[in-house]
Amino acid sequence: EPLELVEELGAFFVPRSLAGRHVLLTAGPTFEPIDPVRGITNLSSGKMGFAIARACRAAGARVTMVVGPTTLATPRGVRRLDVRTAQQMHDAVMAVLDAPAGEAPRPDVFIAVAAVADWRVANASERKLKKTGGQAAPRLEFAQNPDILASVARRADAPYCVGFAAESEDLEANAAAKRAAKGVPLLVANIGHATFGRDDNELLLVDEHGSRRLPRADKAQLALALVGEIAQRLPSLRG
């Protein structure tokens, strides 16, 4: 296929900085059902996550991605696991981390790019909720979803964890606070409404030493730059 050929040619010029590594990442939105035809979701297109998956693959990594509802094509050579809800995404991530040793190499890196719902509808209806004259609007009850990034970071065998934060204001302060709360070494932040669905983005990288910006560029270019940043932070592979 022409697109796959372009990917392969592009990958030829990318440093193999993740050779021998296994990268697990999440991408896209999640969907929390209200009833069989309605639900709560967000504007994430998944483009940034898919660009990072391609960049990791080009850098020589084995890549597994857990993907919420999106129609984006699977990057060449990437293992894709499709899910719908935040709970399903959590369970799929944990299943990869807990896979038997002989099944696949353990992930060295976890990149939580997906825009995951914090809450789900606890009293979702099995039937379509219909508007009936004179009746009060249905009352939705919410339950908190598992925190995927924090759950991975807390593990005794945790891979190197990279979190993403889509903020609406006070980007640097909120990103630093989220990095500390999640207990991760690297937090990547952006202004959510300025990136969802677009082909470009700008990123703020926050770690223990402070922050630095990756200026606005095509998401594919930013993904390659981010992969380079992650590779520099990883401990050397033991022979």
What would the pLDDT profile of 67-90 be if each residue is shown by its tens digit?
999 999 999 999 999 999 999 999
Query: Domain for residue 157, yes or no?
Result: yes
Query: Domain for residue 128, yes or no?
Result: no
Q: Is the pLDDT of residue 192 over 90?
A: no
Q: Is the pLDDT of residue 7 over 70?
A: no
Q: What is the DSSP string of 33-66?
A: EEETTEEE-----SHHHHHHHHHHHHTT-EEEEE
Query: Domain for residue 81, yes or no?
Result: yes
Q: What is the mean pLDDT of residues 160-174?
A: 89
Across 2-11, 122-131, 152-161, least confident range: 2-11
DSSP character at residue 194: G
Which residue, among 150, 90, 152, 95, has the nearest Cα to 120 in the 3D structure?
Answer: 90
Q: What is the pLDDT of residue 109?
A: 98
Q: What is the mean pLDDT of residues 127-134?
A: 82
3-state secondary structure of 160: strand
- Please identify which residue in the block is written with the tokens 């609406």: 168
Q: What is the pLDDT of residue 196?
A: 66
The C-alpha atoms of residue 185 and residue 69 are separated, in whole angstroms, by 28
Positions marked catalytic: 42
Instruction: Give percent helix, percent strand, percent coil of the chain, each to the nearest 5.
Output: 30, 30, 45
Query: Domain for residue 25, yes or no?
Result: yes
Structural domain range at position 149: 2-118+142-233
Query: Domain for residue 193, yes or no?
Result: yes
Q: In total, how many domains does the chain have?
A: 1
Specify the CATH number for the domain of residue 105: 3.40.50.10300
Q: What is the residue-averaged pLDDT of the chain? A: 90
Instruction: Give the model's confidence band at 138: pLDDT under 50 very low, under 70 low, under 90 confident, else very high.
Output: confident
| Two tokens, residue 93 | 């991530």
Q: What is the pLDDT of residue 198?
A: 75
Query: In this structure, what are the phi and psi dihedrals at residue 154, rounded to the nearest 5 degrees?
Result: -80, -15
Across 102-106, 162-166, 215-219, least confident range: 102-106
| Two tokens, residue 192 | 């959510």
Q: What is the mean pLDDT of residues 26-45?
A: 95
Q: Is the pLDDT of residue 238 over 60?
A: no
